Amino acid sequence: MATCDLCGCTPAEPLGDEVPLTWVTSVENGRARIYCDACARENLRAIESKLDPEWW
C-alpha cells in the first residue's frame, strides 16, 4: 500500500501496490520516495530543486 514518505498518510481509495496518479514519486539518495498530493503541492519547489527533505 502506498504511504506518503513525508506525512505518512495513505490514499483514500486503496489501489494495492499502485501509487495514485495525483501523488509524486522521487528518487533521493538512491531511494525511491513517494509524496501525497498535499505534501507535493506544499514542497514542490524543494522537490524539483532536489533539496534534501531535512531542509523542507
The distance in angstroms from the start CA to the end CA of the chain is 25
pLDDT at 36: 93
DSSP string over 14-50: --TTPPPTTSEEEEETTEEEEE-HHHHHHTHHHHHTT
Q: How many domains does the chain have?
A: 1
The list of the chain residues with pLDDT below 70 reads: 51-56
pLDDT at 17: 72
pLDDT at 9: 92
pTM of the model: 0.73
Give the residue numbers spanning the domain of 36: 1-56
Half-sphere exposure of 31 (CA within 13 A, CB side): 6
